[in-house]
Structure 1
Amino acid sequence: MASYVADRKGVFGSGNVTLVDAGDAVQGNVMGTLTQGQALVDIMNATGYDYVIPGNHEFDYGMPQFNHLVGSANATYLSCNFTDKRPEVPTLMFAPYAIQDYPLADGSTARVAFVGVTTPATLTASSPKSFWRSDDDHTCVYGFCEDDTGAALAAAVQNAVDQARAAGADYVVLLAHLGQDGSPDIWRSDALAKRCRGIDVIIDGHSHQEYVQVMQDTEGKTSSSRKRARSSPAWVRSLSIRTAAPSPPARSPSRPRFCARPAKAAIPHTCRRRRSGAMPTCRMRNAVVRSYRNGVHSIKCRNPR
Structure 2
Amino acid sequence: MKSTTLSRALLASSIALALAGCNSSNSNDGGGHTLPLEECKTYQSAPEVIVLSDNENIERQTITIGATGDMHGRIFAYDYALDSVDVNAGFTKISTLLSEERAQNPNMIMIDLGDTLQGNSAELFNDLPVHPVVDTMNFMDYDLWVPGNHEFDFERSFLDKNIQAFEQAVISSNIVWDKNSDACATNGEEVPFLPSYQIFEIDGAKVAVVGLTPSWVTNWQASSPQNFRNLDFKNELESVRKAVEDATAKHQPDVVIGALHWGRKDGGTGVHKIATELADYFDVLFMGHEHAQFIERVEKDGDYTADQLNISVRDADGRPQNQVEDKNISERYHSANRHESVKVIEPGSWGWALAKAEIELYKDADGKWQIFDTTLANRTVADIEEDAALQQEMQEIHDASVIDANTQIGTVDGNFTFTGHVSKFGGDEAVHEDPQFDGATNRLYTTIHHAKVADMPLVDFINQTQIRVIEEKATDHNGNPVKVDVSAAALFGDSSNLTDGQVYLKKDSANLYMYDNMLVATEISGEQLQNFMEWSYSYFNTYQEGDITVSFNKDIRAYNYDLFDGQGFTYEVDIAQEPGNRVTITSIRGTEFDKDATYVIAVNDYRFSSTMVPNGWVSEEDELWNSADETVYAIRDMLTEYVAETGTLSAGEFTNQNWHIVQYGQTDAEGNLVGDKGALLKARETEEGSKLWQQLQNKEICVVREESRDSDITIAVNYKDGSTWYENPQPGTYQGCVH
What is the deviation of 1:118?
1.1
Select the residue among 21, 25, 29 that pairs with 2:112. 21
Structure 2 counterpart of 1:237: 355
Q: Is 2:244 the partner of 1:161? A: yes
Cα distance change on mapping 1:128 and 1:240 into 2, 3 Å: farther
Measured against aligned partners, the alpha-carbon deviations of 1:176-200 in whole angstroms (never above 9, x if no partner) come to 011136x32x231101112224111
Q: Alignment partner of 2:215: what SS? A: coil
For 2:269, the equivalent position in structure 1 comes to: 187
Deviation at 1:154, TM superposition (A): 2.0
Maintained 8 Å contact 1:96/1:115:
yes
How many angstroms apart in 2 are the aligned matches of 1:54 and 1:61?
Answer: 13
Distance in 1, Cα, partners of 2:210 & 2:298: 18
Change (3 A) 1:71 1:261: closer
- 3-state DSSP of counterpart to 2:247: helix
Match of 1:302 in 2: none
Q: Does 1:98 align with 2:191?
A: no
Shift of 1:240: 1.1
Offset at residue 33 of structure 1 (A): 1.1
In the alignment, does 2:100 pair up with 1:7?
A: yes
**1:261: how far off?**
7.0
Conserved in 2, the CA contact under 8 Å of 1:178 and 1:187?
A: no
Report if the CA contact (8 A) 2:156-2:227 is conserved: no
* Cα offset, 1:131, TM superposition: 5.1
Structure 2 Cα separation of the partners of residues 126 and 54 of structure 1: 15
Q: What are the superposed Cα offsets for residues 131-174 of structure 1, whole Å, 9 maximum, x if unpaired?
A: 578xxxxxx7322214xxxxxx3222111111221212011101
* Unaligned residue ranges in structure 2 (runs of 5+): 1-93, 180-185, 303-338, 364-371, 374-382, 385-437, 441-698, 700-727
Q: Distance in 1 between matches of 2:244 and 2:340?
A: 15
Aligned position for 1:226: 345
Q: Is the 8 A contact 2:196 2:211 kept in 1?
A: yes
Normalised by the length of structure 2, the TM-score is 0.30
For residues 122-201 of structure 1, the aligned pairs below 5 Å read 122-126=217-221, 128-130=223-225, 141-146=230-235, 153-166=236-249, 167-180=251-264, 183-184=266-267, 186-196=268-278, 197-201=280-284
Map of 1:278-297 to 2, 5 A cutoff?
A: none
Percent identity (aligned): 20
Q: Secondary structure of the residue that 1:89 maps to in structure 2?
A: coil
2:113 and 2:260 in contact (8 A); partners too: yes
Equivalent AA in structure 2 for residue 116 of structure 1: G
Measure the CA separation in 1 of the matches of 2:301 and 2:193.
28
Query: Match for 2:220: what amino acid?
Result: A
Tell me the distance in 1 between the aligned counterparts of 2:142 and 2:257. Answer: 16
SS at match of 1:156: helix
Give the Cα–Cα distance (whole angstroms) in 2 for the partners of residues 237 and 159 of structure 1. Answer: 26
CA distance in 2, matches of 1:210, 1:261: 18
Alignment of 1:73-92 (within 5 A): 73-86=166-179, 87=186, 88-92=188-192
Offset at 1:125?
2.7
Structure 2 counterpart of 1:110? 205
2: distance between equivalents of 1:124 and 1:180? 19
What residue identity is the alignment partner of 2:196? P
Letter of the structure 1 residue corresponding to residue 124 of structure 2:
L
1:34 to 103, 121, 124: 124
Cα contact 2:346–2:355 (8 A) shared by 1: no
Distance in structure 2 (CA, Å) of the matches to 1:218 and 1:91: 31
- Residue equivalent to 1:271: none
**Matched residues in 2 for 1:62 and 1:266: separation?**
50
Name the SS of the counterpart of 2:282 in structure 1.
coil
Residue type of the partner of 1:223? V
Preserved CA contact (<8 Å) 2:291 2:348: yes
Does the 8 Å contact 2:212/2:240 carry over to 1?
yes
In structure 2, the CA distance between the partners of 1:131 and 1:223, relative to structure 1 (3 Å rule), is farther
Q: Kindly indicate whether residue 299 of structure 2 is the aligned counterpart of residue 216 of structure 1.
A: yes
- 1:116 to 1:266, Cα distance in 2 relative to 1, 3 A: closer
Partners of 2:283 and 2:730 in 1: CA distance: 46
| Letter of the structure 2 residue corresponding to residue 114 of structure 1 | V
Match of 1:95, SS state, is coil
CA–CA separation in structure 2 for the residues paired with 1:143 and 1:73: 22
SS state at 2:109 partner: coil
Distance 1:8 1:127, change over 3 A: farther
* Partner Cα separation in structure 1 for residue 253 and residue 178 of structure 2: 29
Shift of 1:92: 0.5
Following superposition, the deviation at residue 75 of structure 1 comes to 2.5
Please point out which of 97, 118, 121 is paired with 2:216.
121
Tell me the equivalent position of 1:265: 729
- The Cα shift of 1:244 comes to 3.3
Say which SS state the counterpart of residue 297 (structure 2) adopts: strand
User: Residue 110 of structure 1: CA displacement?
Assistant: 2.2
Cα-to-partner distance string for 1:203-246 (whole Å, 9 max, x where unaligned): 00111212221112349720011112115x63223221122399
| Aligned residue in 2 for 1:60 | 153
Corresponding letter in the other structure for 1:145: K
> Structure 2 vs 1, CA of residues 6 and 132 (structure 1 numbering), >3 Å: closer, same or farther?
closer
**1:237-265 superposed Cα distances (whole Å, 9 cap, x missing partner):** 32211223999xxxxxxxx99xx879952
- Greater C-alpha radius of gyration: 2
**Alignment partners' CA distance in 2, 1:162 and 1:6:** 34
Structure 1 residues 259-304: Cα deviation after superposition (integer angstroms, max 9, x where no partner): x87995259xxxxxxxxxxxxxx97xxxxxxxxxxxxxxxxxxxxx
Shift, 1:127, TM fit: 6.1
> What value does the CA root-mean-square deviation take over the aligned residues?
3.1
Kept after mapping to 1: 8 A contact 2:144/2:171: yes
Give 3-state SS (helix, strand or coil) of 1:190's partner: helix
Distance 1:221 1:110 in 2: 22
CA displacement, residues 56-99 of structure 1 (integer Å, 9 cap, x when unaligned): 00011111111011111112111111111133312101111111
Instruction: Indicate the SS of the match to 1:116.
Output: strand
Secondary structure of 2:258's aligned partner: strand
Aligned to 1:297: none
1:261 and 1:82 map into 2 onto residues whose CA distance is 39
Q: Secondary structure at the match of 1:6?
A: helix
Is the 8 Å Cα contact of residues 112 and 171 (structure 1) preserved in structure 2?
Answer: yes
Question: In structure 2, how many angstroms separate the alpha carbons of the residues matched to 1:80 and 1:69?
Answer: 19
TM-score of the superposition, structure 1-length normalised? 0.69
**Secondary structure of 1:119 counterpart:** coil
- What secondary structure is seen at the aligned counterpart in 2 of 1:158? helix
